Amino acid sequence: MQWLVTIVVVLAALGLVLLKLYRFARALVGIDNQDQDKPSCGSCPGQRAGSSDLGITLKPLVQIGDKTKHSVAVLVMANVSLASIAWGQEIRPPNYDESKASSLRLVSVLAGADGKRIESKDQWELQRKYLVDLLAKEEYGIAPSDPVSVSIEVFDDGVAVLAGEPKPKIRRRQIAVNLERRGKSVRIDLAVWSPKDRPSAPCFLGLNFRGNQSTCDDPAIRLTTSWCDNRNPGVIQNKATQASRANHSERWPIAHIVEGGFAVATAHYSDIDPDFDDGFENGVHGLFPDHRLDAEHPDRWGSIAAWAWGMSRLADVLEKLEGIDPKGLMVLGHSRLGKTALWAGATDERFRLVVSNNSGCGGAALSQRIYGESVARINTSFPHWFNRNFRKYNDKEDLLGFDQHQLIATIAPRAVYIASASNDKWADPLGELLSGHYASDAYALHGKRGLDAKELPAVNTPLVHGSIGYHLREGDHDMLLYDWQQFMAFAKQNGF
Ligand code: GTR
């Protein structure tokens, strides 16, 4: 009798799982969400079809007749079932309960390859290299070391127009940055705004999600021709239209930044590498077909490493640009581009200050906490962001012999600022703060103060006593004027 009950329960559970999979498959081929072809998740603009766990609608992958759709749904379901049986696991649901966040077993940022603790700052250069190499190999991927030729064309040099008004004190430049290797080329449009009354201004460099035209209402800004996400406003068939102008201007308070004495430079991340999984054919990956991330080379560069590498090429240009202080380059980014900014700061020491805004999993947040987005989730939703080695840790965080505090430490002794938002649980604000805290030994080694706090401060109360700054802005996953004001104050405090 007991056996019978067990069999019935197991069969019922299996049936439920299959039903769920069938529904998922139907959504995937577009049976269930034909009326949902609209932009979603205003605060997560770059999100792509496939991240259904974030409350985002799956978009139909194919346009086919209903009968075929049902067959495809059944086929997809069968394949997914087989795959999940083969892998023997489903991704763990996200945890938001602090009492269930995993206890940490973090390796000290001063522990070297042999496990021995380094004691003096003379050893730091080697230790930093060890950490960068470790994170490259296991997480972001190794970028090619071959050079590319970088040439520029300044196609616009004039007075900025912001909020409908010409700003005589703000110089606007647009530069086509051409990267070439073995007969192939990639063009990145760099827009730079700088104060006319400061001959050599420190400069924030950050990539944007929707094209340079989305950052302000200046009609002179060239409309991006690179791939854009269809769910973003003003995008038709993955191309930006005039309607996309200024639709992310709240993230780029250009007038405030330049009036604060800083230059600001931006480029569309898609110019460097379009944000979808194409087997690394397009963008700057396409310049290095001999250095492709694949099953035989699981340690090579994914998209985050490519965006960061692209930022270094933009630094090549900015450090020679009139009006920009070559010793005042600062890198910043929001969300996936915050992860990118951190990796750019780790791999390129010309960035003297690094800002991570709501960078979350694979950015500032400690993976071992398993709070909000997890390694398995991010690797599944965005298989092209990290390298293949990182998948070893999917739902196996206990195998991680490293964590994101070591990423923050690679920036030492340069200044780093970590910004979280109170409603952005997915990015794990406490995990972001703790990375800074546990990176602090690397700063102490240099006689600098890091981040003392181990607990979240009150909202809108920045912690800026050391070389690692932190704030928890009240509100959602976003990068707003409040955040910029803190970045600028921190930059000034650090001598920029
Ligand atoms: C989310 C992703 C996050 C974050 C965000 C963004 O879907 O899970 O890690 O990067 O996208 O970049 O907007």
pLDDT in tens, 123-151: 999 999 999 999 999 999 999 999 999 99
As a whole number, mean pLDDT of residues 360-374 equals 98
Residue 92, in any domain of the structure: no
Same structural domain for residues 81 and 142? no
42 CA → ligand 1 middle, Å: 12
Say if ligand 1 is within 6 A of residue 376 CB. no
Q: Is the CB of 394 under 6 A from ligand 1?
A: no
Residue 161 falls inside a structural domain: yes
Mean pLDDT of the chain: 88
Q: Which atom of ligand 1 is nearest to the CA of 44?
A: 13
How far, in Å, from the CA of 358 to the mean position of ligand 1? 9
Q: What is the arithmetic mean of pLDDT over 24-49?
A: 37
Is the separation of the CB atoms in 47 and 375 below 8 Å?
no
**The ligand 1 atom nearest the CA atom of 361:** 9
Are residues 73 and 182 both part of a single domain?
no
Ligand 1 geometric centre to CA of 335 (Å): 6
312-333: pLDDT as tens digits = 999 999 999 999 999 999 999 9
Task: Identify each DSSP E strand in 335-429 by its residue range.
Answer: 353-357, 415-421
Rounded mean pLDDT, 337-360: 99
Cβ 44 under 6 angstroms from ligand 1: yes
Question: Ligand 1 centroid to 44 CA: how many Å?
Answer: 7
208 contacts 214 by C-beta, under 8 angstroms: yes
Q: In testing the pocket of ligand 1, which one of 275, 382, 386, 404 has its CB within 8 Å of the most ligand atoms?
A: 382
Q: Do both 363 and 449 map to the same domain? A: yes
| Same domain flag for 67 and 207 | no
| The two three-digit tokens of residue 226, written as one number | 């690179």
- Global pTM reads 0.85
How many Å lie between the centroid of ligand 1 and the Cα of residue 342? 15
Angle, vertex CA 225, rays to CA 37 and CA 171, nearest 5: 120
Start-to-end C-alpha separation, the chain:
76
88 pLDDT above the threshold of 50: no
Do 293 and 425 fall within a single domain?
yes
Question: How far is the centre of ligand 1, averaged over its atoms, from the C-alpha of 432 (Å)?
Answer: 14
* pLDDT band of 102, cuts 50, 70, 90: confident
Query: Do residue 402 and residue 275 come from a single domain?
Result: yes
> Is residue 484 within 8 Å of residue 462, measured between CB atoms?
no
- pLDDT for res 67: 53
Answer for the pair 469, 416: CB distance below 8 angstroms, yes or no. Answer: yes
Read off the pLDDT of residues 72-84 as tens digits, 9 standing for 90 and up.
Answer: 555 555 555 555 4
- Over residues 336-358, the mean pLDDT reads 99
220 and 363 share one domain = yes
| Cβ of 231 below 6 Å from ligand 1 | no
- Which of 269, 304, 335, when mutated, tests ligand 1's pocket best, judged by the most ligand atoms within 8 Å of its CB? 335
Angle (CA) 345-252-52 rounded to 5° is 80
Asked if the model's pLDDT at residue 29 lies above 50, the reply is no
H-helix or E-strand containing 311? helix 303-318
Residues 323 and 467 grouped into a single domain: yes
Confidence of residue 33 (pLDDT cuts 50, 70, 90): very low
Helix (H, G, I), strand (E, B) or coil at 80: helix
CA separation (Å) from 93 to 12, 24, 211, 285? 21, 16, 34, 33
The runs of H, that is alpha helices, within 29-114 are 66-87
Closest atom of ligand 1 to 46 CA is 13
Place of tokens 């827009």: 191
Evaluate whether residue 333 is within a structural domain. yes
Name residue 160's beta-bridge partners. Answer: 167
The answer to whether residue 387 is domain-embedded is: yes
| Edge-to-edge strand list for the sheet holding 184-195 | 149-162, 165-181, 184-195, 263-268, 201-208, 324-334, 353-357, 415-421, 468-473
Q: What's the pLDDT band for 12 if we cut at 50, 70, 90?
A: low
Distance 48 CA to ligand 1 centre (A): 9
**76 Cβ inside 6 Å of ligand 1:** no
Whether the CB-CB separation of 251 and 264 falls below 8 Å is answered with no
Q: Tell me which residue range forms the domain holding 280.
A: 136-493
Catalytic residues: 335, 477
Asked if residue 208 lies in contact with residue 229, where contact means CB atoms within 8 angstroms, the answer is no
Q: Please give the pLDDT value at position 9.
A: 52
Report yes or no on 318 lying in a domain: yes
Q: Closest by alpha carbon to 324, among 201, 205, 204, 158?
A: 201
- Do 72 and 195 fall within a single domain? no
Return d(Cα 417, Cα 357) in angstroms, integer. Answer: 8
Q: Percent of the chain, pLDDT > 70?
A: 82
Q: Please identify, by atom number, the ligand 1 atom nearest to the C-alpha of residue 337.
A: 12
Q: What does the pLDDT look like over 205-235, one tens digit per residue? A: 999 999 999 999 999 999 999 999 999 999 9
- pLDDT value at position 8? 52
Provide the CATH number for the domain around residue 464: 3.40.50.1820
15 and 143 assigned to the same domain = no
Ligand 1 centre to CA of 360 (Å) is 8
Please report, for residues 18, 218, 435, 472, the alpha-carbon distance to residue 459 in angstroms, rounded to integers and kept in the order given.
44, 34, 18, 5
Specify if 39 maps to a domain: no
pLDDT over 50 at 38, yes or no: no
| For residue 14, pLDDT beyond 70 | no
Substitution site in 47, 209, 358, 478 for ligand 1 pocket (most atoms within 8 Å of beta carbon): 47
pLDDT at 45 over 50: no
H/E element, 267: strand 263-268
pLDDT confidence of residue 23:
59
Q: Is the pLDDT of residue 86 over 50?
A: no
Neighbours of 218 (CB within 10 A): 25
Cβ(47) to ligand 1 under 6 A?
yes
> Would residue 41 count as lying in a domain?
no
Q: Are residues 369 and 266 in the same domain?
A: yes
Using DSSP's 3-state secondary structure scheme, residue 154 falls into strand
Instruction: Provide the number of structural domains found in the chain.
Output: 2
Residue 373 beta carbon below 6 angstroms from any ligand 1 atom: yes
User: What is the amino acid identity at position 83?
Assistant: A
Q: Please check whether residue 231 lies inside any domain of the structure.
A: yes
Same-domain pairing of 296 and 202? yes
Q: What is the pLDDT of residue 436?
A: 98
- For the segment 155-163, the average pLDDT, to the nearest whole number, is 98
Query: What's the confidence (pLDDT) of residue 369?
Result: 97
Give yes or no for residue 270 CB within 6 A of ligand 1: no
Predicted confidence at residue 103, as pLDDT, reads 86
What are the structure tokens assigned to 442, written together?
A: 């690397």
For residue 44, is pLDDT > 50? Answer: no
The CB of 414 under 6 Å from ligand 1? The reply is no
